[in-house]
């Protein structure tokens, strides 16, 4: 009877553990994750220069996509993107490609954290720079706001 009871207890324990795991997955996928995502965000980056960039944050994937809608920089220069969340230092996002595109995966970011954050484009040397902040002029900037969908 001792071995039989141990087997029954093991089976019951395994079933309870499996039920708890299934409940956690259902709760996480249907309640927590969509709740953290929030609305998609967008911004139109403009300034006194002739540079304009459209920005979109997809809350479901965490992707921040930038698309330059104007001419590229001169051959020896680049357009560099920055994210500035209020109260923090600028975060380097990278250089827009020659065709004016940049996609950055902001893993773990939510629209609640990014709403109101500034995105800026600076004029930088083509081969980069050493500081982790803009060294050239800010050509365009805007704030992330809920998308009009």
Whether the predicted pLDDT of 31 surpasses 70: no
What is the band of 53 on the pLDDT scale with cuts at 50, 70, 90?
very high
Question: Per-residue pLDDT averaged across 117-122, rounded?
Answer: 96
pTM value? 0.73
Enumerate residues 6+ apart whose C-beta is below 8 A from 44.
52, 53, 54, 55, 142
Question: Per-residue pLDDT averaged across 48-74, rounded?
Answer: 95
Better pLDDT: 5 or 14: 5
What is the band of 18 on the pLDDT scale with cuts at 50, 70, 90?
low
Residue with tokens 């996609």: 103
Whether the predicted pLDDT of 80 surpasses 90: yes
Q: How large a percentage of the chain has pLDDT more than 90?
A: 57
Mean of per-residue pLDDT scores for the chain: 83
Enumerate residues 6+ apart whose C-beta is below 8 A from 96.
53, 66, 68, 78, 79, 80, 81, 102, 121
By the 10 Å C-beta count (0-12 exposed, 13-18 middle, 19+ buried), 145 is classed as middle
Enumerate residues 6+ apart whose C-beta is below 8 A from 121.
45, 47, 51, 53, 68, 79, 80, 81, 82, 96, 138, 139, 140, 141
Whether the predicted pLDDT of 5 surpasses 80: no
Whether the predicted pLDDT of 96 surpasses 90: yes
pLDDT of residue 11: 61
pLDDT of residue 38: 83
CA angle 52, 53, 55 (to 5 degrees): 155
What is the band of 1 on the pLDDT scale with cuts at 50, 70, 90?
low
Q: How large a percentage of the chain has pLDDT more than 70?
A: 74
By the 10 Å C-beta count (0-12 exposed, 13-18 middle, 19+ buried), 67 is classed as middle
């Amino acid at each position: 009877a001792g071995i039989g009871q141990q087997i029954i207890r093991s089976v019951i324990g395994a079933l309870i553990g499996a039920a708890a795991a299934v409940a956690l997955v259902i709760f996480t996928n249907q309640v927590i994750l969509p709740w953290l995502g929030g609305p998609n965000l967008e911004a139109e980056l403009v300034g006194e220069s002739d540079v304009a960039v459209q920005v979109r944050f997809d809350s479901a994937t965490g992707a921040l996509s930038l698309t330059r809608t104007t001419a590229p920089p001169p051959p020896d220069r680049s357009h560099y993107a920055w994210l500035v969340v209020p109260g923090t230092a600028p975060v380097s996002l990278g250089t827009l490609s020659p065709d004016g595109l940049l996609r950055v995966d902001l893993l773990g970011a939510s629209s609640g954290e990014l709403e109101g954050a500034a995105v800026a484009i600076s004029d930088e040397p083509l081969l980069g720079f050493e500081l982790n902040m803009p060294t050239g002029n800010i050509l365009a900037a805007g704030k992330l706001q809920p998308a009009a969908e």
